[in-house]
Amino acid sequence: EAQVTQNPRYLITVTGKKLTVTCSQNMNHEYMSWYRQDPGLGLRQIYYSMNVEVTDKGDVPEGYKVSRKEKRNFPLILESPSPNQTSLYFCASSLSATHRYEQYFGPGTRLTVT
Amino acid sequence: SQQGEEDPQALSIQEGENATMNCSYKTSINNLQWYRQNSGRGLVHLILIRSNEREKHSGRLRVTLDTSKKSSSLLITASRAADTASYFCATDPTGNQFYFGTGTSLTVIP
């Protein structure tokens, strides 16, 4: 089944404790992206990757890191999480830079930082 | 912010009625997309309309785009209870980044 998977789905952590949210897709997609969703603010793009080893900042990259060493994986790293990073996070992928518009979304990761 | 805005924020209709929601954005775009999100789930792509198109249909969905007014509308005809969800528009002014609106929450009452 073609899908985007995220792990963990739920995470409660404390301020300053480094964490990684994994994202994997099995569709051989080139374009991958991370979003956060907050009430009243909609989805905001954190980082995106056009292909392996190519990443760029989105609208709200502060406090986050990403890497794209393999085509299928695009982990989101919070080096020192803070309470304002409490949010619902989505990973998404699309076929290529040309077909990036139809994005497939993962199920989401609900992160709480206390 | 280049984020779009959907209007209304919430909409409640009876099953069988049509639902119309609007999206306004701030800068010129390459394309505009509409997505659906069921409560707490990931977004699902519904339809894409390119900046040189004015109207597009897909099943019970009809999307219009007016680039002079920087606005788009999504019409869902003959709504069903299963259409209950939040609907978001997304634009790509720079070509690589996406900007989503704040969403319209649609409730279809059986």
> B75 falls in which pLDDT band (50, 70, 90)?
very high
Does the pLDDT value for residue B4 go beyond 80?
no
Count CB pairs under 8 A between chains A and B.
57
Nearest CB partner across the interface for B102, out of A33, A42, A102: A42
Distance of alpha carbon B26 from alpha carbon B93, whole angstroms: 9
Instruction: Provide CB contacts within 8 A for B25, sequence distance 6+.
Output: B2, B4, B5, B32, B70, B71, B72, B89, B91, B93, B99, B101
Query: pLDDT digit string (tens) for B14-71?
Result: 999 999 999 999 888 888 999 999 987 899 999 999 999 999 999 999 999 999 999 9
Q: How far apart are CA B70 and CA B32, in angstroms?
A: 10
Cβ of B96 within 8 Å of Cβ of A106? The answer is no
Of A4, A58, A108, the CB nearest to B97: A58
Question: What was the pLDDT predicted at B1?
Answer: 53
Q: Tell me, what's the pLDDT at B63? A: 98
> Is B65 in the A-facing interface, judged by CB distances under 8 Å?
no
Give the integer Cα–Cα distance in Å for B85 and B40.
10
User: How close A18 gets to chain B, by Cα (Å)?
Assistant: 25
At residue A100, the pLDDT reads 63
CB-closest option in A40, A42, A104 to B88: A42
Copy the structure tokens of residue A39.
């009430």
